[in-house]
Amino acid sequence: MLTIDVLYVMKSMRHIFSAGIIIYFLTACGNQQNPVADYMQSALGEPIEAVIPSHPVDSMNEISVQDNYFRTGDELTANILNIVNMFQFTELICCQEVMDDLAVDNYALLSDSLPQLFQVYQRNTSLQIPNFVTVDLIAQLSHVYESYLIQTIEKNHFSPMLAELCLAIYHASVDQFNKSDRTDVKNMAVYNAAFYAIPYTLLTGLPLKMPVSDYQTVVDQELAYIAQQELRRPALSERKTEFDYSVFKPYGHYTLTAEMRRYFRAWKWLQLAPYCCDNKTQRQQAILCALALQNLKTQTGDSAMDLYSRLTGAMEWFFGAPAYTTLHNLAILLKKERITTVAAALDAKFLTKVNAATIAFLPQADYRNENFLFQLENQGVSSCHKRLESLSVLQETYENSPFFAKKQAWNRKKTETSSALHAKMKHNMLLYGVVPDYSEPKAITAPADSLPLEPLRLGYVEPALSFWTKLREWVELTDKTLKNYLLTNDTVNAFSDRLHRYVGLMEDAAFRELDNERLSDEIYRFIEHIGDSIQQFTLTMIEPVVDRWEWVDGPDKSVDMNHIYVIVEIDGYLYLTKGSVFGKQECLMSP
């Protein structure tokens, strides 16, 4: 009776050219006992139905589909000795842990020091190794794309919009101060003028003159505190305790240019200095400011309310619903109540309707909060909600999923991917963009990813169909939102179209794989060169423009990643494919 440790044989045969040679060696030695079944039963720990060649294999064409699997209980396990391209992975044969994982789970992970996921695929292309395109790879690209969008919009739209709105409210407040005979209205109006003069000066570096000298001193003092970033008792607020002004210290990409440092500080002021409505005076100050917004025009002649709507609408898409009421909501309520005068706005009858705890010009976003006081009409979903939807459906398993995706072990891979993507989403949410410094590159004028025809190489896409569908919907809704709020340009449109094409190809591939159809030549060619395509796409979204990833600088230059090896069936044969996934450090990423 012949008993052979298959892995021992594989380790000792350093120059194996194909899995077929291993099968030939084992079966030629005699088959009174099936050595493959012996090993697989030992590895799996339970009886198996082994279906492997019972005769020497002279050609890989002799391996039929039924020879490719063992049945272990309810699970189908691929026979690793039927992998037709094992000669491309001779380095794995010496790794007992990886071979055990491939034999039992039909996939395995190995850590790597490469800085980016796409670089694994570039190496695969040069070695002609079949690519396994993971959710992780395209999801990482979508996060880079979203970060590029946010930072481009900050620079080209949000910053000038904030400056225009703050200046317009300042002038409207000074006008209310000059025209009113009521002392209480004058005091509230000059407070508002000072409040919005501070972020305007932070944004532009230009001072604004206060109608009351005492408030000029207050404004100058607050600007000094923000610059010093120390514990101070606020000059403008009625707060009795010290406030930590170090929150105005920029971080991430906001440190890289003076413009972004100014924007960060102005944003923080508008976010962290709300009107507290348990204080009647502050509630009236907020109402007075919202009243001024209704018919206000900016210096460029735009409607302040339209500008404010564009700003808050885009904010809600990217970062979720505000944690509490905005001045925009309050202005809408005033219009709904047909209140147009200061007297009516400050009347006790209306004050009782404004029972929000806090009102702010730019409140912190909170995608978990769906019950804030003044809901915007037709709010719809946000980017965060679509992201969470995609993570939820990533856990799905389909009846027609391939054998490896039906295994319990594959759930670990899906869970780790979801954890890493959720951590990245929270990181972007809570810090509002601690990512590399992306700014607008030149518009794309030539077709992207044009490749010369060459012999077709096979590959595989992670068959997470619902995830690809949700990601495509996210790209479409993001594009629609940006166009709705007039925040796009030719470059952004080109990038959106390109990402939409990438995700669409992944969705098509997953659909075909689940339907047991052969992938199109277009998809196979895209999979083969996906590493180069994603590197090119990513580099076009980075400033300064560089040609190689080694020259990139920034917090996200590198990610923690693993190689993933997955056994798949293509055209009736088993192939070992290779891709990349996030490592555990990405799952533990702190905000």
At 510-534, the pLDDT tens digits run 999 999 999 999 999 999 999 999 9
* pLDDT score, position 9: 36
Q: Are 255 and 267 in contact (CB under 8 A)?
A: no
Using the structure block, give the residue that is written with the tokens 């591939």.
509
User: In whole angstroms, what is the distance from residue 7 CA to residue 40 CA?
Assistant: 10
Report the distance separating Cα 435 and Cα 254, nearest Å.
10
Query: What average pLDDT does the segment 433-443 reach?
Result: 28
Torsion sign over Cα 440, 445, 450, 452 = negative
3-state secondary structure of 69: strand
Of 213, 374, 355, nearest to 280 by C-alpha is 355
- What is the model's pLDDT at position 548? 65
Residues 330 and 388 occupy one common structural domain: no
Decide: helix, strand or coil at residue 281: helix
Q: Over 70: is that where the pLDDT of 429 sits?
A: no
Q: What is the mean pLDDT of residues 175-183?
A: 94
Please answer whether residues 535 and 118 qualify as being in contact, where contact means their C-beta atoms are separated by less than 8 angstroms: yes
Domain-embedded: residue 125: no
| 166 within domain boundaries | yes
- Same domain assignment for residues 392 and 447: yes
Domain boundary among 360, 392, 411: 360
CA distance 66 to 551: 50
Same domain, yes or no, for 184 and 325?
yes
Q: Which domain holds residue 89?
A: 6-105
Tokens of 432: 């509002």
The answer on 543 and 400 residing in a single domain is: yes
What gap in Å lies between CA 502 and CA 557, rounded to an integer? 22
- Looking at residue 544, what is its pLDDT? 62
Q: Do residues 270 and 362 touch, judged by C-beta distance below 8 A?
A: yes
Residue 143 is assigned to a structural domain of this protein: no
CA separation for the pair 185, 343 (Å, rounded): 10
**In the structure, what pLDDT confidence band is assigned to residue 357 with cuts at 50, 70 and 90?**
confident
Question: Using 50, 70 and 90 to split pLDDT, how confident is the model at 153?
Answer: very high
Nearest CA among 199, 198, 253 for reference residue 431: 253
> pLDDT grade, residue 555 (50/70/90)?
low
DSSP string covering 360-398, please? ESSPPB-TT----SSPPTT----HHHHHHHHHHHTT---
Q: Are residue 320 and residue 411 in the same domain, yes or no? A: no
Boundary of a domain, candidates 69, 87, 105: 105
Q: What is the pLDDT of residue 206?
A: 95
Tell whether 420 is covered by a domain.
Answer: yes
User: What is the token pair recorded at 416?
Assistant: 């780790």
Would you say how long the chain is, in residues?
A: 591
> 262-291: buried (b, 16+ CB within 10 Å) or exposed (e) per residue?
bbbbbbbbbbebbbbbeeeebbbbbbbbbb
Tally the domains of the chain: 3
Q: What is the pLDDT of residues 271-314, one digit of tens each?
A: 887 777 778 888 899 999 999 998 899 988 889 999 999 998 89
pLDDT tens digits, residue range 43-67?
Answer: 445 544 433 333 333 343 444 444 7
Confidence bin at 588 (pLDDT 50/70/90): low
Using alpha carbons, select from 307, 303, 287, 283 the residue that is nearest to residue 295: 303
Looking at the structure, do residues 159 and 200 belong to the same domain, yes or no?
yes
Query: Is 116 within the bounds of a domain?
Result: no
Comparing CA positions, the residue from 365, 426, 439 lying closest to residue 155 is: 439
Predicted confidence at residue 249, as pLDDT, reads 92
Please state the pTM of the whole predicted model.
0.80
Kindly give the interhelix angle for 159-179 and 258-272, rounded to the nearest 10 degrees. 50
* Domain shared by 402 and 491, yes or no: yes
- The SS3 call for residue 17 is coil
Pairing of strands 69-72, 49-50: antiparallel
Return the C-alpha torsion angle 202, 208, 213, 216, nearest 10: 0
Predicted pLDDT of residue 443: 33
pLDDT in the model for residue 512 = 96
d(CA 109, CA 562): 6
Structural domain includes residue 133: no
**β-strand 131-133 against 459-461: which pairing, if any?**
parallel
490-517 average pLDDT score: 95
Average per-residue pLDDT for the chain: 80
Average pLDDT, integer, range 436-445: 28
Average pLDDT over every residue of 473-487: 95
What is the distance, to the nearest Å, from the Cα of residue 429 to the centroid of all Cα atoms in its chain?
10
Query: How many Cβ atoms sit within 10 Å of the Cβ of residue 302?
Result: 16
Answer yes or no: is 340 within a domain.
yes
Q: What is the pLDDT of residue 237?
A: 82
3-state secondary structure at position 172? helix
Residues 68 and 161 in one domain: no
C-beta atoms surrounding 306 within 10 Å: 12
Residue 239 is predicted with a pLDDT of 78
Q: How far is CA 328 from CA 79, 203, 356, 359, 410, in A?
A: 63, 21, 13, 10, 47
Q: Is 242 exposed, middle or buried (0-12, 13-18, 19+ CB in 10 A)?
A: exposed
146: nearest Cα among 559, 419, 547, 436: 436
- Give the residue from 359, 337, 358 showing the smallest Cα distance to 349: 337
Asked whether residue 181 is assigned to any structural domain, the reply reads: yes
- Do 342 and 426 have their domain in common? no
- Give dist(CA 110, CA 96) in Å, integer: 12
- Out of 163-167, 236-240, 484-488, which region has the weakest mean confidence (pLDDT)? 236-240
pLDDT for the residue numbered 132? 97
* More reliable by pLDDT, 564 or 372: 564
* Residue with more model confidence, 307 or 39: 307
d(CA 138, CA 503): 7
Q: What is the pLDDT of residue 369?
A: 42
Q: Look up residue 187 and give its two tokens.
A: 């005091």
pLDDT at 430: 46
> Do 390 and 323 fall into the same domain?
no
* Final residue of a structural domain among 105, 128, 161: 105
CA angle 108, 559, 473 (to 5 degrees): 85
Using an 8 Å Cβ cutoff, are 153 and 486 in contact?
no
Residue 119 confidence (pLDDT): 92
> Could you report the per-residue pLDDT of 209-242, keeping only the tens digit for each?
999 999 999 999 999 999 999 999 999 987 778 9
Of 233, 211, 212, 209, whose CA–CA distance to 222 is shortest? 233
Q: How far is CA 99 from CA 93, 491, 585, in A?
A: 7, 46, 24
- Provide mean pLDDT across the span 445-451: 38
> Are 271 and 356 contained in the same domain?
yes
- For residue 86, give every residue at least 6 positions away whose Cβ sits within 8 Å of its Cβ, in sequence order, or none: 16, 18, 19, 22, 80, 93, 576
Rounded CA separation 558/28 (Å) = 49
User: What long-range pairs does 218-221 form, CB within 8 A, spacing at least 24?
Assistant: 218/194, 219/194
Contacts of 217 (CB under 8 A, 6+ apart): 235
Report the alpha-carbon distance of residue 376 to residue 311 in Å, rounded: 13
Q: How confident is the model at residue 375 (pLDDT cuts 50, 70, 90)?
A: very low
Quickly state the pLDDT bin for 549 (edges 50, 70, 90).
Answer: low
The C-alpha angle with vertex 323 and arms to 317 and 328, in degrees rounded to 5, equals 70
Alpha carbon distance, N-terminus to C-terminus of the chain: 61
Alpha-carbon distance of 233 to 221, in angstroms, equals 10
Which candidate, 178, 180, 168, places its Cα nearest to that of 289? 168
Number of H helices, E strands in the chain: 22, 13
Whether residues 285 and 350 share a domain: the answer is yes
Mean pLDDT of 36-44: 48
Report yes or no: 249 and 266 within 8 Å, Cβ to Cβ.
no
